[in-house]
Structure 1
Amino acid sequence: MSVSKIIPLTNVGLLAGAIERAMQRPLGLPGLVVMYGPSGLGKSVAAACSANQHRAYYVECRDTWTKKAFLLAVLREMAVTPARTLSEMVDQVAEQLSRSGRPLIVDDVQYLLEKSAANVLTDIYNASQGTIVLIGEENVATSLARLERLHNRVLEWVPAQAATLADVTRLAASSYPNLQIADDLLADLVKHVKGCLRRAAVNLYRVNSECTAKALGKIDLATWTAGWFTGEPPRRGAK
Structure 2
Amino acid sequence: MTSMNAYVNGGIADIANIGLCDVALEKAMERTSSLPGMVCLYGPSGFGKSVAATYVANRRRAYYVQAKSVWTKRHTLTAILAEMGMRPASTIPQMLDQAAQELAMSGRPLIVDEMDHLVEKNAVELIRDLYEASQSPILMIGEEELPNKLKKWERFHGRVLSWVPAQPVTLADARKLVPLYAGEVDIADDMLTHLVELSGGSVRRVVVNLEMIQDTALTSGWESVTRDVWGKAALYTGEAPKRRL
TM-score range, shorter chain: over 0.9
1:73-127 Cα deviation digits (max 9, x unpaired): 1111111111111011111111111111111110110010122211110110000
Give 1:3 deviation, angstroms: 5.6
Give 1:64 deviation, angstroms: 0.7
Q: How far apart are the structure 2 equivalents of 1:125 and 1:4?
A: 33
Which of the residues 100, 112, 115 maps onto 2:118? 112
- Please list every run of 5 or more consecutive structure 2 residues that lacks an aligned counterpart in the other structure: 1-7
Matched, 1:223 2:229: yes
**Greater CA deviation, 207-216 or 154-163?**
207-216
**Greater CA deviation, 212-221 or 80-89?**
212-221
Q: How far apart are the structure 2 equivalents of 1:51 and 1:73?
A: 15
Matched, 1:121 2:127: yes
1:32-66 Cα deviation digits (max 9, x unpaired): 01011111111111111111110111111111110
- Please list every run of 5 or more consecutive structure 1 residues that lacks an aligned counterpart in the other structure: none
Matched, 1:103 2:103: no
Give the structure 2 partner of residue 156 of structure 1: 162
Which of the residues 74, 94, 101 maps onto 1:68? 74
Give the structure 2 partner of residue 56 of structure 1: 62
Matched, 1:177 2:197: no
For the aligned residue pairs, the C-alpha RMSD in angstroms reads 1.5
Q: How far apart are the structure 2 equivalents of 1:35 and 1:116?
A: 20
Q: How far apart are the structure 1 equivalents of 2:184 and 2:178?
A: 10
Give 1:205 deviation, angstroms: 1.1
Q: What amino acid does structure 2 have at the position aligned with 1:85?
A: T
Give 1:217 deviation, angstroms: 2.7
Q: How far apart are the structure 1 equivalents of 2:174 and 2:69?
A: 31
Q: How far apart are the structure 2 equivalents of 1:205 and 1:178?
A: 10
Give aligned pairs, total: 237
Matched, 1:86 2:86: no
**Equivalent pair of 1:114/1:143 in contact (CA under 8 Å):** no
Give the structure 2 partner of residue 15 of structure 1: 21
Q: Percent identity?
A: 45
Q: How far apart are the structure 2 equivalents of 1:34 and 1:221?
A: 38
Change (3 A) 1:92 1:4: farther
Matched, 1:214 2:215: no
Give the structure 2 partner of residue 202 of structure 1: 208
Change (3 A) 1:106 1:181: same
Which of the residues 21, 35, 38 maps onto 2:44? 38
**Equivalent pair of 1:31/1:132 in contact (CA under 8 Å):** yes
Q: What amino acid does structure 1 have at the position aligned with 2:174?
A: V
Q: How far apart are the structure 2 equivalents of 1:57 and 1:212?
A: 41
Give the structure 1 partner of residue 171 of structure 2: 165
Q: Give the TM-score of the pair, scaled to structure 1.
A: 0.95
Q: Give the TM-score of the pair, scaled to structure 2.
A: 0.92
1:4-48 Cα deviation digits (max 9, x unpaired): 434221111111011111101111211001011111111111111
**Greater CA deviation, 6-15 or 213-222?**
213-222
**Equivalent pair of 1:3/1:48 in contact (CA under 8 Å):** no
